[in-house]
């Protein structure tokens, strides 16, 4: 995906962006680093994607209400976005190795501690803060920022799409795996197994980061210049309707996606779908997410990005209204609904990142996309918490889906309103 190639360079510290000495070789020289990075992101992204499978077993284990558990999961979604700029700033000063190591350690600790939670506060601390802070460190931009200097710009552009797909592959694998482990051993042991897998990633990170020179802290002058540049970029972007429209759209995108990640599997179970079947249907969501991302990139090469983005949000409206309010909610329809949701799931990333890059320049892309992702996670926090409250009060998920359809319609209109004329740089 274009997002990775344009933001990748901002994930490594100063002095850390040295390409490997044998950068002129074939793809075989880079296979192991690519596989290592994909494995790391598949595990990190896959765990975030299966929150919906965790939530009900954790309420049973802890005795916490569904609404209170949804609050903790909402905090996790929020901190995943809010911590990314902080981790990115640390990586710029200290290099990516300490950030990625901290991410793996925090995720492992959060997974080991979460089964011990017996109150809303404990669940929020273990899962919503510790685990979620780790996922913010093991995000796409920072992992790609570690890998990119090894590859060079052309290879990095191609590999970014592969890395982005790794998250969907992780989701597709972990959904049935977590469901099976939970059925066999319980949610506590299942999360500890995942925590052990994250702990093993420490070795992978140490090896991956050893392939390039260690980062060095930037000077005070360079830091001040960077701060001035960030302020200038923010003023330039905020002065345009295009960026405001993207913020509206991506906050709605987060609202939509976290309903799927947190509430879709519990909703299917509440409608009588067995847990194993629901997990398998969610695996289909992960697979169609991969296909949707590829198709989105294909269409962005042939049509204006605002039109592609507006159409994707519009398709979400059609899908939600059709399957949640017009068709019967049986296993077949819910399965089709889940598959169709996947096609528009991660597909909005490519046109959003392309609009930012083309209008404000690749150098500004990492910072500006990071801010849009914060809005994405704020929307996700709202839908995670609100969905739990509405289900507790009404026994139904219809209200949260109705809100989602309305917001997606607003996002579609906002995206279509972005001018299709793309200046060299917005000033």
Query: What gap in Å lies between CA 61 and CA 186, rounded to an integer?
Result: 9
Mean pLDDT of the chain: 82
Element (H, E) at 222: helix 220-238
Distance between CA atoms of residues 143 and 184, nearest Å: 33
What pLDDT, on the 0 to 100 scale, is given for residue 421?
Answer: 67
Q: Tokens for 364?
A: 């500004």
Asked whether residue 355 carries a pLDDT value surpassing 70, the answer given is yes
Does position 5 have pLDDT exceeding 80, yes or no?
no
- What gap in Å lies between CA 385 and CA 78, rounded to an integer? 11
Q: What is the Cα–Cα distance from 4 to 346, expressed in whole angstroms?
A: 13
Contacts of 396 (CB under 8 A, 6+ apart): 390
Contacts 24+ apart (CB under 8 A), 402-407: 402/324, 402/325, 403/255, 404/255, 404/256, 404/259, 404/316, 404/320, 405/316, 405/317, 405/320, 405/321, 405/324, 407/252, 407/255, 407/256
pLDDT classification of 363: cutoffs 50, 70, 90: low
Question: Which residues, other chains included, contact 149 with Cβ-Cβ below 8 Å and sequence gap of 6+?
Answer: 9, 12, 16, 17, 18, 19, 212
C-alpha dihedral over 372, 378, 382, 385, to 10 degrees?
Answer: 130
CB 316 within 8 A of CB 256: yes
Average pLDDT for 192-210:
94
Residue 217 has pLDDT above 50, yes or no: no
Q: In Å, how far are 181, 247, 410 from 404, measured between CA atoms?
A: 32, 16, 10
What does the pLDDT look like over 233-286, one tens digit per residue?
778 888 899 999 999 999 999 999 989 988 888 888 888 888 888 888 888 887
- Give the chain's domains with CATH numbers: 1-215 (1.20.1250.20), 231-427 (1.20.1250.20)
Contact 69, 193 (CB under 8 A): no
């Amino acid at each position: 995906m274009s997002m990775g190639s344009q933001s990748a360079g901002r994930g490594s510290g100063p002095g850390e962006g040295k390409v490997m000495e044998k950068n002129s070789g074939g793809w075989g020289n880079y296979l192991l680093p690519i596989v290592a990075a994909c494995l790391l992101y598949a595990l990190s992204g896959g765990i975030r994607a299966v929150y919906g499978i965790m939530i009900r077993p954790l309420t049973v284990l802890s005795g916490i209400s569904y609404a209170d558990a949804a609050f903790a999961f909402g905090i996790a979604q929020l901190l995943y976005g809010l911590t990314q700029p902080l981790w990115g700033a640390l990586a710029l000063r200290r290099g990516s190795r300490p950030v990625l190591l901290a991410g793996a350690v925090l995720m492992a600790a959060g997974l080991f501690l979460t089964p011990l939670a017996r109150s809303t506060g404990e669940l929020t601390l273990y899962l919503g803060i510790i685990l979620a802070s780790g996922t913010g460190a093991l995000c796409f931009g920072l992992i790609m920022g570690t890998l990119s200097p090894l590859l060079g710009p052309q290879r990095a552009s191609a590999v970014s799409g592969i890395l982005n797909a790794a998250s969907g592959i992780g989701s597709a694998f972990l959904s049935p795996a977590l469901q099976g482990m939970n059925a066999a051993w319980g949610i506590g042991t299942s999360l500890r197994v995942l925590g052990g897998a994250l702990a093993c990633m420490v070795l992978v990170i140490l090896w991956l980061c050893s392939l390039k020179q260690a980062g060095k802290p930037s000077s005070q002058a360079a830091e001040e210049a960077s701060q001035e540049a960030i302020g200038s970029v923010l003023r330039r972007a905020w002065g345009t309707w295009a960026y405001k429209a993207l913020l509206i759209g991506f906050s709605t995108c987060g609202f939509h996606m976290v309903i799927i990640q947190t509430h879709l599997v519990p909703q299917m179970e509440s409608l009588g779908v067995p847990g194993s079947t629901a997990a398998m249907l969610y695996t289909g969501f992960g697979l169609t997410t991969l296909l949707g991302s590829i198709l989105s990139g294909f269409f962005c090469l042939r049509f204006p990005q605002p039109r592609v983005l507006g159409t994707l949000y519009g398709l979400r409206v059609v899908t939600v209204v059709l399957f949640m309010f017009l068709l019967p909610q049986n296993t077949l329809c819910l399965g089709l609904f889940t598959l169709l949701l996947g096609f528009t799931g991660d597909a909005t990333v490519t046109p959003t990142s392309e609009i930012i890059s083309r209008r404000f320049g690749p150098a500004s892309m990492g910072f500006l996309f990071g801010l849009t992702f914060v809005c994405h996670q704020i929307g996700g926090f709202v839908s995670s918490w609100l969905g739990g409250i509405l289900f507790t009060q009404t026994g139904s998920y219809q209200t949260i889906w109705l809100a989602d359809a309305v917001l997606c319609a607003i996002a579609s209109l906002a995206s279509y309103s972005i001018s299709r004329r793309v200046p060299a740089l917005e000033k």
